Amino acid sequence: MSDSTGAGAKTDGTVQVHKDNPVKRVPIARPSFGHEGKQIKLLSNHFTVKLSGIDAIFYQYCVSIKSEDDKVIDGKGIGRKVMDKLLQTYSSELAGKEFAYDGEKCLFTVGPLPQNNFEFTVILEETSSRAAGGSPGHGSPGQGDKKRSKRAHLAKKFVVAMSYAAKIPLKSVALALRGSESDHAQDALRVLDIVLRQQQAKRGCLLVRQSFFSDDFRNLVDLTGGVSGCRGLHSSFRTTIGGLSLNMDVSTTMIVTPGPVFDFLLTNQNVRDIRDIDWPRAKKMLKNLRVKAMHNNMEFKIIGLSDEPCSRQTFPMKVRNGSNEGQTVEITVQEYFKSKQVDLTMPYLPCLDVGKPKRPNYVPIELCNMVSLQRYTKALSSQQRSTLVEKSRQKPQERMRVVTEAVKNNRYDDDPILSSCGIKIEKQLTRVDGRVLSAPTLVVGNSEDCIPNRGRWNYNNKRLFEPVKIERWAIVNFSARCDMSRISRDLINCGRTKGIIIERPFTLVDEDSQAKRCSPVVRVERMFEKVKANLPGPPEFLLCVLPERKNCDLYGPWKKKNLHEMGIITQCIVPSTKMNDQYYTNVLLKINAKLGGMNCKLSLEHRHMIPIVNQTPTLILGMDVSHGSPGRADIPSIAAVVGSRCWPLISRYRASVRTQSPKVEMIDSLFKPLGDGKDDGIIRELLLDFYKTSQQRKPKQIIIFRDGVSESQFSQVLNVELDQIIKAYEYMDQGPIPKFTVIIAQKNHHTKLFQENAPDNVPPGTVVDSGIVHPRQYDFYMCAQAGPIGTSRPTHYHVLLDEIGFSPDDLQKLVLSLSYVYQRSTTAISVVAPICYAHLAAAQMGQFMKFEEFAETSSGSDAPSSSGAAVPELPRLHADVCSSMFFC
């Protein structure tokens, strides 16, 4: 088979890989800079770092901490306490050197320690819950109290071993800043980041990766349910084309709301009376959380709840009887605390068990407060998420003030390790040159031009570019309060003004009142029986009115029934007070796109004038992987890829979706040979669809937009996922391999852009490819969207490969254009439409699976893995809807 691109280095810095001679691909270097657009003066939340001590060398040491009985200690909190005590006790043995400790197994110094191996004995005051005087357990209050109070003053002994591991020269950072690939540069930056983390740990902050959160109630946002958003700061050192910088940003994490455990339980379960608490649910929620007991001011970790309330829960206690050795009696928790002059007001509540599995230690709930700064890692409800977003917003000026003050107040220059490296951090935001690209012109109905204004447009007095006609349809109603006749009338009238001809619905189907008590799957089945009985044949479209509650549990079964079993396009709505013309227009944009219409398209697309894409058959792919809720390692991840169709259009897409092992980011089903000469992978499906809808043309160029991967995974995208795509193409034996351009889109980063001379967000179309970008690799920041509220977050695009050979200007304009073809919206979106579509497809088809059933047979420890354990397959789409934009 002929190969259009020979092996070896190419002029664009990429390497073409042969099957029989694999060469590892690396991200390409920046070819040049973009020039188009109106110049704009910007500021960024990067602070310039002056690095004068480049000859400094970090020495890395491995740290092992063991207890007296030779057990390895891996708790981060205790590790830091032990190492702080070690530095106090053995400073002279360490030649007075300060060190940066990562809280686990690594320690760094500037210059070497006097010897390569050390072993120290460190003594800490006893801090475990066994030393909790006054808390009942299996010891005896009385004589037992004396024993415990003695034990409270006993010391705990640790043995710390330190051994030399590696040298990390700071000079590697200077080399990386000059564009050289340096093995040690990332390691050296990691050490600098660890110094920042250690500084905040000493101030009592909660550390979450490179973010830190201080214990200040003014930083808390109540999200209800016993959960609070805690505002803190992110800080990390980055190499940029303008030099080393400190990226400082506002960050938020979720914590358990501090305060009485009693209050936490009421708000968490949304009940008013403590007697209405669901205790099995409370036990699950409380497990592993930390509390502070008011009667002795000690901290404990909850392991469970007592079987009985305080008034009936007993434990054995030794009591002295004169000179006798004493006898063991059973005493209730309530009686014990009464003997300590603590009268319980709610003895009918169970106790918290803060002991060991075989040695319970009971504390009444009313005597305990939640310790502050405990991370809450479970998934938030939709209401909690919207509250968090709403209350976390900050205007650009406010965000600039907060991060600038943080850099000044943290006084990083005073840190002994940073100062010994000659590091000085500027106190002002970095100035950056940006450019504002013009918005692309759109075409709507009657080939009328529509010019977006500040990233927005509307369909007032306009028709859709390609409206559909809806003849056979019906409305089904799962909602108690809903006027279906009015909804039908308003939808038809709004459609008429937009060019969509909607006949009257065949029927309006209400759910039977007795069905409301059934499970969601049964309710959907019964509704379909009614629909079939009322319709002469299968409808082309169903409008489904869901109950008021958002993220309703009917949604998944309803979508699965329609898209998997029946092959019917469906649109769900929820009744609201704002069902006006704007509301129906937005609903109709989705319906029109799902049924094969087109709301608008780019003028360049309409006139076949998109540079490079128009001349050569080009497939555009958007790739994303959606993972289950945090803390759920048993739920499969959902991989979705959308591919463009009907070339030379770039506005129509088809999705292919698969499950894969939980929390695996690399897509493993791009190429899936079945052994009988067939390939059941995603790419074959999209290639065939492209061929069928593009005048039997095969793609000669493929542009890949990949979402959700970090810089450490770039190599896998280039050398694993891209290889799979190439293999899928080769397996079809369709001639020369296409040329590829691979672009990563990152939203989850901490760089923000601000206007230097205006309080507003940067204008839509702002692009930055200088100053704060990578010193060698090909990346740029783009803010395609308007930012009316909060502070806009630019998307960080990394071009890993460009065999097609776009100029920076053409590539940036293509990215901007793809932010305007999102059919659900009348605004430019923040990331290219193919990635948004992939995200929507993964989210919607993820609802097909009844993960609850799967979770019962699997736990985090034996969850399906990439090693081949069974991952439940996703139900495939019905043939009648598989090529539709069902995800819109």
Question: Residue 128: pLDDT above 50?
Answer: no
61 DSSP β-pair partners: 107, 164
What pLDDT is stored for residue 75 in this prediction? 65
Question: Residue 857: pLDDT above 80?
Answer: no
Q: Strand pairing of 362-364 and 350-353?
A: antiparallel
Q: pLDDT tens digits for 7-36?
A: 333 434 444 444 444 678 999 999 999 999
Two tokens, residue 278: 């669901």
DSSP string, 119-134: EEEEEEE--SGGG-TT
Q: How many other CB atoms are found less than 10 A from the CB of residue 616?
A: 15
Angle at 661 between CA 657 and CA 667, to 5 degrees: 50
List, in order, residues 6 or more apart from 513 with CB less than 8 Å away.
none
- Whole-angstrom CA distances from 678 to 121, 619, 726 are 64, 22, 16
Contact 802, 12 (CB under 8 A): yes
What pLDDT is stored for residue 858 in this prediction? 37
What pLDDT is stored for residue 393 in this prediction? 87
What pLDDT is stored for residue 829 in this prediction? 96
> Stretch 109-114: mean pLDDT, rounded?
93
Phi, psi of 861 (to 5 degrees): -75, -30
CA distance linking residue 362 with residue 336, whole number of Å = 11
What pLDDT is stored for residue 285 in this prediction? 92
Exposure string over 97-131, b if 16+ CB within 10 A, otherwise e? bbbbbbbeebbbbbeebeeeebebebeeeeeebbb
CA distance linking residue 110 with residue 92, whole number of Å = 16
Question: Residue 135: pLDDT above 60?
Answer: no
Q: pLDDT tens digits for 509-563?
A: 988 888 888 888 999 999 999 998 888 888 999 999 998 666 678 899 999 999 9
> Stretch 880-885: mean pLDDT, rounded?
94
Written in H, E and C, the secondary structure of 776-803 is: CEEEEEEECCCCCCCCCCCEEEEEEEEC
Q: pLDDT tens digits for 429-438?
A: 999 999 999 9
> Stretch 289-310: mean pLDDT, rounded?
91
Counting Cβ atoms within 10 Å, is residue 848 exposed (0-12), middle (13-18) or buried (19+)? buried
Counting Cβ atoms within 10 Å, is residue 483 exposed (0-12), middle (13-18) or buried (19+)? middle
Question: Residue 461: pLDDT above 50?
Answer: yes
List, in order, residues 6 or more apart from 435 with CB less than 8 Å away.
34, 35, 36, 37, 38, 39, 40, 766, 767, 768
DSSP string, 300-351: EE--EEEEEETTT-EEEEEE--TTS--EEEEEEHHHHHHHTT---S-TTSEE
CA distance linking residue 383 with residue 390, whole number of Å = 11
CA distance linking residue 629 with residue 846, whole number of Å = 12
Residue 543 amino acid letter: L
List, in order, residues 6 or more apart from 149 with CB less than 8 Å away.
133
Q: pLDDT tens digits for 564-611?
A: 999 999 999 988 878 899 999 999 999 999 999 999 999 999 888 888
Nearest residue to 785 via CA among 757, 747, 758: 747
205: DSSP letter? -
Residue 366 amino acid letter: E
What phi-psi label fits residue 551: left (phi over 0), alpha (psi between -120 and 50 degrees) or beta?
A: left
End-to-end CA distance of the chain: 40
Question: Residue 305: pLDDT above 70?
Answer: yes
What phi-psi label fits residue 177: left (phi over 0), alpha (psi between -120 and 50 degrees) or beta?
A: alpha
What pLDDT is stored for residue 694 in this prediction? 94
Phi, psi of 789 (to 5 degrees): -130, 150
Q: pLDDT tens digits for 258-279?
A: 999 999 999 999 999 888 889 9
pTM above 0.95, yes or no: no
What pLDDT is stored for residue 549 in this prediction? 65
What phi-psi label fits residue 676: left (phi over 0), alpha (psi between -120 and 50 degrees) or beta?
A: alpha
33: DSSP letter? -
541: DSSP letter? E
> Stretch 160-177: mean pLDDT, rounded?
92
Phi, psi of 21 (to 5 degrees): -145, 65
Question: Residue 376: pLDDT above 50?
Answer: yes
Helix (H) or strand (E) holding 229: strand 227-240
Q: pLDDT tens digits for 471-521?
A: 999 999 998 778 889 999 999 999 999 999 999 999 899 888 888 888 889
DSSP string, 275-308: GG--HHHHHHHHTT-EEEETTT--EEE--EEEEE
Two tokens, residue 711: 């810089």
Contact 435, 39 (CB under 8 A): yes
